[in-house]
Amino acid sequence: MAKKLWEKAGTVNPEIEKFTVGKDRELDLMLAPYDILGSIAHSTMLRSIGMLTNEETESLHRELREIYTLTESGDFCIEEGVEDVHSQVELMLTRKLGDTGKKIHSGRSRNDQVLLDLKLFIRHELQQVCHDTKELFDRLIEKSNRHRNILMPGYTHLQVAMPSSFGLWFGAYAESLTDDMLFLKAAYCMCNRNPLGSAAGYGSSFPLDRSMTTNLMGFDSMNYNVVYAQMGRGKCERNVAYALAGVAGTLAKMAFDACLFNSQNFGFIKLPAECTTGSSIMPHKKNPDVFELLRAKCNRLQAIPTDITLIMNNLPSGYFRDLQIIKEVFLPAFEELKNCLSMAAYIIERIEVNEHILDDSRYDPMFSVEEVNRLAAEGLPFRDAYKKVGLDIEAGTFIADKEIHHTHEGSIGNLCNDSISTLMQSIYDSMNFEKAITAEKALLGRI
């Protein structure tokens, strides 16, 4: 059995080891590619300060890149008895390179290694989440433009209120994602800072060149204060989780609307057949299971920031093992949200809208405000116009004028979708994902 990196004499009780390692080994598989990228950057820096020779560095890079290909093919594993991904990578290097493999830990602690792995992982996953969010946004804008002239009821208190449109409904969720993208950008900027060189949280006596590793990995800057770099563990995950929760909140609300509007009592939309399921005893049923599960999954995602807060909120500065548990709730969240975004984009693109909702006279009263405003514009005091229309509705003499010609900004006739799209694109472009992507390719020798 492989010895622990920290092990000196004696052995750990197997039950204690099982309890303390928990799910860390399986979760660390998600971090493996990033541990290798960090090791390539770190060894390059060690060469620059005379801690490694050119030959040692080249051999380390060669083996690290070989290990990286194993993570891509799914053949990388953490062996039984090996504590974590950091230990596994160092073990593999030592088997191949002997003492050279042991030198790679100079100037590092597992504390700053896991911080770095998490930040590189988060950075990569946020790129994917932003891309998928933008994809859903594009589907919503396209749907909004296509159905901009089809009216539907707007609701307050779940009561028919005023005229809305499918252009407004689809477009509302598109603009909501624009605000969510701002939070994703803040999360990306926060995680895109290099903690490597902070070691166990108090720096190293080696003359580490932290600016070099920052540039090599394509970070925007470093975490300058080494104590804060360690204090950022948990805080970074919590703030990123809030950004993910923002997107999830938009999806959950949209899913609720879709389930409601798809029901027979509303009949505003029709979901694609392949996205519904039937009943074992009721042959007429077409249940919106995908949207219902999407709603539940997204509501669960919105609880993750609270989970993380409760784990790390009462910890003083410095490292504590409590922080390990955050991985269990945090790392899987990205895949969950990406799946929800993908499903939402698929269904939104294929939703059919009812173009004849207003043929039903039950929706006539929603045009009452239009009539009140028309009378007020002609000179009748607003309160008198309001009273007249109200009495007409009660008497059953109100006749709805369903022709609406609003052109002011943000109204049914002027959705401002081009402005919303421009805003979304500017936020997305400002994150400059290419900088990080190019840096990682360079570390792997792929450019």
Q: Which CATH number, 3.40.50.410, 3.40.718.10, 1.10.275.10, 1.10.540.10, labels domain 14-103?
A: 1.10.275.10
Model pLDDT for residues 66-89, shown as the tens digit of each residue: 999 999 999 999 998 898 999 999
Model pLDDT for residues 316-344, shown as the tens digit of each residue: 998 888 999 999 999 999 999 999 999 99
Model pLDDT for residues 336-383, shown as the tens digit of each residue: 999 999 999 999 999 999 999 999 999 999 999 999 999 999 999 999
Indicate the pLDDT class of residue 4, thresholds 50, 70 and 90. Answer: low
pLDDT at 2 over 60: no
Model pLDDT for residues 30-63, shown as the tens digit of each residue: 999 999 999 999 999 999 999 999 999 999 999 9
Between 447 and 173, the more confident residue is: 173
Going by C-alpha positions, the residue among 73, 70, 97, 94 that lies closest to residue 82 is 94
- Ordered by start, the domain boundaries in the chain are 14-103, 110-205+221-359, 360-415
pLDDT at 283 over 80: no
Indicate the pLDDT class of residue 9, thresholds 50, 70 and 90. Answer: low
Model pLDDT for residues 153-168, shown as the tens digit of each residue: 999 999 999 999 999 9
pLDDT at res. 6: 44
In this prediction, what percent of the chain has a pLDDT beyond 90? 84
Number of other residues whose CB lies within 10 A of the CB of residue 172: 18
Number of other residues whose CB lies within 10 A of the CB of residue 397: 8
> 431: which 2 tokens?
């994150």
Q: Looking at the structure, give the CATH architecture of the domain made up of residues 110-205+221-359.
A: Up-down Bundle (1.20)
